[in-house]
Structure 1
């Protein structure tokens, strides 16, 4: 593979594959309009390395992230490679907390999309008024806004409010999702973002039609029957990467 020449000779094949998957995800997010200047984060555990994960270099736009410029850090914030880029503390503190304490949080995504911030900023948060919202009713945690997430002591409350859930609307702040795989986290974020977009549009039109708890339960029970084999989000994410490749393949480097 031509781009492999840019891989450090000491880097495992598994890490390089993880870097390429994560870099492609940053490009997918940018293509979908989920970039926020040089802010927000998607992190991914480094395969085979306890307590290590990959994060975007602080100062680069999502459209500039590549496999080789991702920064590898440990859960204490120490860089584990020779990257010249810093790491945004506002991203590290929150993501390291979940990577440290949640074995199933392999990938974590946090964004400040307009729709996500809007829904997180109203009483009641996400409401059962559309197809995608029904995917998540009863599965979303909420955490009160305490300012920019740079203080370690906020972690206790974040963990308490998250509980057994793996999706959160940070009030007045935005979307936070976790997945056992990157594609799983991606499809959760995509569907939650769609639910928020549709809620914003619906509430601007009039009184929404609330879906009953009984129907929500049936919807969640049967949802797996509408998924493509291969694991949650796998086919969806691969389709988005193919679209990114039609625009720019530099993320592979």
Structure 2
């Protein structure tokens, strides 16, 4: 069995950067635990506070191997800034750098290739208002058509336009993307989007006519959510519990 290099950056980076590293590594572990991973592919990135630097997974590691210390720090061009034995997937960071460059509020970008998100994104009808989960996405959802592997820098322009001010993006034939001001926000938005896709496919598999959520309810769902979360976001409210779960699964992520 090949052993991974063991890195320890705790107390070697700022406390603010270390906290983001811990949150991001936890997010990778939770994604793996939920069955949303794709071997060594797909990515979650997060901005280092008060810098133009970003953290992303090392290329070649499964999500349950990601730790706070082996996350790779890069600039928007994907240049590695750490003294690290690891590289990154340049095609994977193309999408993330495009979002980070235009969305100052998107401190975390989560991009996955789940079966259900690919399926719903690839339907001509797209995501439908068939569940409470879907209401959150439909209020802030864009689509970006498939252009092959993300190695063409020109695609960044179209991706930025398609995302706009939305917090959710479905990519036909490809997957899904969510953004958030924190790791917890991006994670919870992906959780809701994934559940919405799963439920839609389950309903559609019955072949029966479905009851859709009324447009006025979809339009008002964000205001209602603010009441439920007492002015905080869903990610801020739920992330501490998710972080505790990550520690229970395997505390090595925080090394």
Alignment TM-score, normalising by the size of structure 1: 0.93
2:229–2:237 contact (8 Å) kept in structure 1: no
Structure 1 distance, partners of 2:218, 2:20, is 35
Structure 1 residue 34: deviation in Å?
1.0
Provide the residue aligned with 1:200 in structure 2. 201
Alignment of 1:67-146 (within 5 A): 67-146=68-147
- The aligned residue for residue 224 of structure 1 is 226
Match of residue 211 from structure 1: 213
Cα deviations by residue, 1:24-63 (Å, 9 ceiling, x for unpaired): 11111111111110011110001122x2100000000000
Aligned-CA RMSD value: 1.6
- Distance in structure 2 (CA, Å) of the matches to 1:160 and 1:247: 38
Distance 1:231 1:133 in 2: 17
Q: Does 1:147 align with 2:148?
A: yes
Residues in 1 aligned to 2:214 and 2:236: alpha-carbon distance in whole angstroms:
30
Give runs of ≥4 in structure 1 deviating > 6 Å: none
SS of the counterpart of 2:200?
Answer: helix
Query: Aligned partners of 2:80 and 2:191: how far apart in 1?
Result: 30
- Find the aligned partners of 1:187 and 1:39 in 2 and give their Cα distance: 20
SS at structure 2 position matched to 1:152? coil
Aligned-residue offset at 1:222: 1.5
TM-score, with length taken from structure 2 = 0.92
SS of 1:6's equivalent?
coil
Displacement of 1:153 in angstroms is: 0.6
Deviates more, 1:220-229 or 1:77-86: 220-229
Aligned length: 248
| Structure 2: tracts of 5 or more residues without a match | 1-6
- Report deviation, 1:10: 4.1
Would you say the 8 A contact 1:43–1:108 is kept in 2?
A: yes
Structure 1, unmatched stretches of 5+, are none
Aligned to 1:172, the other structure's residue is in SS state coil
Query: SS of 2:127's equivalent?
Result: coil
Contact kept, 8 Å, 1:135 with 1:220, in 2: the verdict is: yes
